[in-house]
Chain A
Amino acid sequence: MIDLIHDVAYSYRKLVKANSYPGDIYSLTKSIKNNKLILPFYEATIIMVYMLLDAEVSYFVAGDVEGKASDLIARLTYAKSVSVSEADFIFVLASASNSEKDEALMEAKIGTLINPHLSATVICEVESVSQGEANLSSGPGIKGHKIIYMDYFDRWIDIRSKKNDEYPLGIEMYFLDKSSDLMALPRTTTVRGSE
Chain B
Amino acid sequence: MENQYNFAFFDEGSKREIRRATLKAIAIPGYQVPFASREMPIARGWGTGGLQLTLSLVTKKDIIKVIDQGTDESVNAVSIKSLVRKTTGIKDTVDTSKASLIQSRHRIPEEELKKGQILVLQVPMPEPLRFVESSEYKTKRLHADGEYSGAWLVLFEKIVKFGMVTGGAAHPVFVHNRYVMTPSPIPKYDNSKLNESEALILLGAGREKKIYAVPPYTKVVSLAFEDYPFELEDQTGLKCNLCGAANVFLDEIKTEETDEVYYQCNDSSDCLKRLNKGGKS
Contact = CB atoms under 8 A, between A and B. Distances in A.
A122 to B, nearest CB: 12
A140 B216 contact: yes
Interface size class of A (residues with CB under 8 A): 35 or more
Interface string A123-152: 000000000000000001111000000000
A9 B176 CA distance: 29
Contact of A117 (B21, B59, B145, B218): B21
A147 to B, nearest CB: 16
B32 to A, nearest CB: 9
A188 B31 contact: no
Contacts of B19: 12, 51-52
Contacts of B26: 16, 19-20, 186
Interface in B50-66: 56-61
A17 B57 CA distance: 11
A10 B216 contact: no
Q: Which of A114, A117, A143, A186 has the most CB of B within 10 A?
A: A117
A117 B217 contact: no
B29 A140 contact: yes
Interface in B71-109: none
A140 B23 contact: no
Interface in A10-52: 10, 12-13, 15-17, 19-21, 51-52
B6 interface: yes
Interface stretch (B9-17, B121-129, B150-158, B184-192): B9-17
Interface size class of B (residues with CB under 8 A): 35 or more
B22 interface: yes
Contact of B116 (A17, A140, A143): A17
Interface of B: 6-8, 12-13, 15-17, 19-29, 31, 33-34, 56-61, 115-116, 118, 140-141, 143-145, 176, 178-179, 200, 215-219
The list of the 5 closest CB pairs from A to B, nearest first, reads A186-B27, A113-B144, A140-B218, A117-B24, A20-B200
Given A140-B216, A167-B178, 18 more contacts: A4-B12, A10-B59, A13-B57, A16-B57, A19-B23, A19-B26, A19-B27, A54-B16, A54-B17, A112-B144, A113-B144, A140-B176, A143-B216, A172-B27, A186-B27, A186-B215, A188-B27, A188-B215
25 contacts: A6-B59, A9-B15, A9-B58, A10-B61, A12-B56, A13-B57, A16-B23, A19-B23, A19-B26, A20-B200, A20-B216, A52-B20, A112-B144, A113-B145, A114-B141, A117-B21, A117-B31, A140-B216, A140-B219, A141-B215, A141-B217, A168-B179, A172-B23, A186-B26, A186-B27
